[in-house]
Chain A
Amino acid sequence: MVASLIPTEDEVMLRDAARGFLQESSPVTAFRANRDAGRTHDPALWKEMAQMGWTGVLLPEDAGGSEMGHRAAGILSEEMGEVLAASPFISTAVMAATALRGAANDRLAGIADGSSIYAIAVDEGPKHAPARTGMTAEKSGNAFKLSGRKVFVADGASANRVLVLARTGGSVGEAEGLTLFDIDADRAGLTRNAKHTVDERDHAQLDFDAVEATGDDVVGEVDGGMAALHTALNAGQAALSAELLGVSAGAFGMTTGYLKERKQFGRTIGSFQALQHRAAHLFAEIEITSSAIANAGRMMDEDAENADIAVSIAKARATQTAKLAVSEGVQMHGGIGMTDEFDMGFFMKRARVGAEWLGDYGYHAARVAAARGF
């Protein structure tokens, strides 16, 4: 168990600063503008995040980071979720930064200063399953040739670097025999196809056709890719859970606001007990999920080796809470909730994509069950 789930003074300050900045620079209207312009994220916003040090939240100081930790990264993600700020934060500043901790400082510096955008290419099927990696990395001397397809790669089209998991040994279904590579996104033989997903963010399919990599591109050990990636995935899952908590809070805030304002039958609809109780129930769900989020961040900071269960409780809860918050959000708004002119649909779409990315409810429920011995 962790020390305390209450935020520290620094964390409170970080949240306030993040909220102030995002409300100013990236309100939901900015997301809408990006969507209408066909832009999956705003590079100017990413630059500003880098200037404020968000990109270095998990990086050591000598690499240009602030090393505020995973709980802090979660707070930033949560705030971004609440206003639907789209950025490569989780892929780059959380997952790549964690996976590359041991790498040379110049690589980390690219993350810290915002010039590197990373995509993490793991999955090959419709569900998150690192062990089912079939993509091959054929060894010849000190070099490798990577062939295969990766799908649902977040930030895959806009990234300039890719962390990709490929098989150097073992067989599909085994966590052993996988190797993690850190390569340039423009490398010959790599084709990237942007997919148009409902959350209007960057998700791409990456096709590798005998893409060359060297020993220098290997992160961690050959055949030891999961060891290198495991903590990074946990970090991403924890941050994504926090984002989903933010999505829930954003939808919930709009909903309670509407309950206090909309009138039907000569009464404010928030005076109908049928709606009051559901709002109160949703509040309870959000509170419980919020503990799981704080706990996951703390565990990642204090005992990352043993954080699996904490992270999975967080992702499982956040997935369900967000789903409930957005469904109730649309339903309690009535017809207006169904219109594109109104923002609630954006929350619903992000919640759905977030439910699938980095492991759905069932994936994380199974990890919790395994950790609890059943």
Chain B
Amino acid sequence: MSSFSDDLDQFRSEVSAFIAEKCPQKLKDMPSSERSICWGGKRFTFSCDEQRIWMENAAAVGLTAPRWPTEYGGAGLNRAQEKVFREEMAKAKAPSPLESFGLWMLGPALLAFGTHEQKLKYLPDITNGRIRWCQGYSEPGAGSDLASVQTRAEDKGDHWVVNGSKIWTSYADKADWIFALVRTDKDAPKHKGISFMLIDMEAEGVSTKPIKLISGTSVFCETFFDNVVVPKTDEEGNSRIVGELNRGWDVAKHLLTHEREMIGGGGSGAASGVLGGRSLGAFIDTLDETIMDDPVVRSQTMELEIDTLAMSMTMERYKDMAKQGGVGHASAMLKYSGTELNKRRYELLMSITGSEGVEWDGEHGSLAPEWLRTKANSIEGGTSEVMLDILSKRVLELPSS
């Protein structure tokens, strides 16, 4: 396992040398795209050999999970070191060696709620990219009211039998395992009968069906469980439930707050999609030169620009606040404002590109599908209405009806 220096300057030179030596140049030169993301997992096809090599090199010293403890496959870095590591990665144009729901969600859940043995069993498989996880939360009947999940796990002595269906499971058709919220006590109050269960996607009775969105194909699936047998413990005696039985809601809630902050980031004008790294102004320069002659369009554009800049200041301010002790439920504001702003941005882009913008694959590439996809921003990860509810009740402490 790794042994990086605690001295920040020393650490910087170590890690920059590591990246220079261990990340193949080809990857550094590759433009980032969906194809360039390394997801890992048994069924993953690397886009090139260098992608595999970089993942393995980084995993060998724990740098696929910089903050996780070394005993679980991480690099054990502190916050300052992680920042330096990210800076050096950006400087070298090195892509992230590995991304996954295991790293983003299951890992943090296990670190907070798992047993030492569970961590030892599952975390290294995540950090070295052997196992790819997907998230099984939402159900057709349980969206905003996630705690009403109906997928049930019946206690059959030494195993559970799981029945039900999940929806919006991203990459379920490519994942090896799923972490799912299942009802283990149907008589308890709804928040108190849910468990956070780990299920092998290869188990008999698990099937998936891709979901097509209004914007085209998607990474989302429906996942069905038909009498799926889940052993209560594995060969080593580890429970397939994270945290306490019937207390899975605590685990889920912990992760949801985390997810919300990630999604809100889209509103700060993050360089993605049709704008790429360009400012709105630079994009407008590529359009019909009379477009800003329309006072309506011009006024909407100016308003959007002001709000975008103010939003990115807010993101910065909240990030700093988070470091100093957290923002609590106010993170719902970032999610709400960020996603609503992004929807507005795309309405404006559609408006200023006029009849060119409405083509599926015209002059402005994927603008139209991107525009349609933004409509889900205020739905996924908790709807805008739910965010406003959280703000009114938890932050403003307004009375509930």
Give the B-binding residues of A (Cβ under 8 A): 123, 125-127, 129, 132, 151-152, 195-199, 203, 263-266, 272-275, 323, 327, 330-331, 334-335, 337-341, 344-345, 348-349, 352-353, 355-357, 360-363, 365-366
> Is B144 a contact partner of A334 (Cβ separation < 8 A)?
yes
> Is A360 a contact partner of B354 (Cβ separation < 8 A)?
yes
Nearest Cβ distance between residue B186 and chain A, in whole angstroms? Answer: 15
A345 to B297, CA, bound (A): 25
A348: B residues at CB distance < 8 A: 214, 372, 375
> Is B296 a contact partner of A334 (Cβ separation < 8 A)?
no
> Is A327 a contact partner of B358 (Cβ separation < 8 A)?
no
B371: A residues at CB distance < 8 A: 352
> Is A356 a contact partner of B168 (Cβ separation < 8 A)?
no
> Is B379 a contact partner of A362 (Cβ separation < 8 A)?
no
A128 to B368, CA, bound (A): 19
> Is B384 a contact partner of A331 (Cβ separation < 8 A)?
yes
> Is A340 a contact partner of B385 (Cβ separation < 8 A)?
no
- Name the prevailing secondary structure of the B interface residues: mixed
> Is A362 a contact partner of B167 (Cβ separation < 8 A)?
no
Given contacts A126-B356, A127-B290, A337-B375, 15 further A-B contacts (CB under 8 A): A126-B291, A126-B353, A195-B362, A196-B360, A198-B358, A264-B145, A327-B375, A331-B375, A331-B379, A338-B214, A338-B375, A338-B379, A340-B212, A352-B350, A362-B296
Q: Which B residues from 284 to 313 make CB contacts under 8 A with A? A: 287-288, 290-291, 294-297
Asked whether B10 is an interface residue with its Cβ less than 8 Å from the other chain, the reply is no
Q: A198-B360, A275-B385 are in contact. Are A335 and B355 (CB under 8 A)?
A: no
Interface size counted on chain B using CB atoms at 8 A: 49
Asked whether B60 is an interface residue with its Cβ less than 8 Å from the other chain, the reply is no
B288: A residues at CB distance < 8 A: 125-127
Nearest Cβ distance between residue B290 and chain A, in whole angstroms? Answer: 8
> Is A264 a contact partner of B355 (Cβ separation < 8 A)?
no
> Is B354 a contact partner of A196 (Cβ separation < 8 A)?
no
> Is A362 a contact partner of B353 (Cβ separation < 8 A)?
no
> Is A274 a contact partner of B287 (Cβ separation < 8 A)?
no
A123 to B343, CA, bound (A): 28
Contact pick for B212, options A335, A339, A349, A357, CB 8 Å: A339
Asked whether B143 is an interface residue with its Cβ less than 8 Å from the other chain, the reply is yes
A362 to B141, CA, bound (A): 42
> Is A334 a contact partner of B379 (Cβ separation < 8 A)?
yes
Give the A-binding residues of B (Cβ under 8 A): 138, 141, 143-145, 148, 167-168, 211-214, 216, 287-288, 290-291, 294-297, 343, 347, 350-351, 353-362, 368, 371-372, 375-376, 378-380, 383-385, 388-389, 401
Closest partner residue, chain A, to B356 (CB atom):
A126
Q: A197-B360, A362-B297 are in contact. Are A349 and B355 (CB under 8 A)?
A: no
Please list 29 pairs of residues, one from A and one from B, whose beta carbons are closer than 8 Å in the complex, sorted by A's number. A125-B354, A126-B353, A126-B354, A129-B290, A132-B290, A152-B355, A195-B359, A196-B361, A197-B358, A265-B145, A266-B148, A273-B401, A331-B375, A331-B378, A331-B383, A334-B144, A335-B143, A335-B379, A338-B375, A340-B216, A344-B214, A345-B372, A348-B214, A356-B357, A356-B358, A360-B351, A362-B294, A362-B296, A362-B297
> Is A337 a contact partner of B360 (Cβ separation < 8 A)?
no
B290: A residues at CB distance < 8 A: 125, 127, 129, 132
> Is B354 a contact partner of A334 (Cβ separation < 8 A)?
no
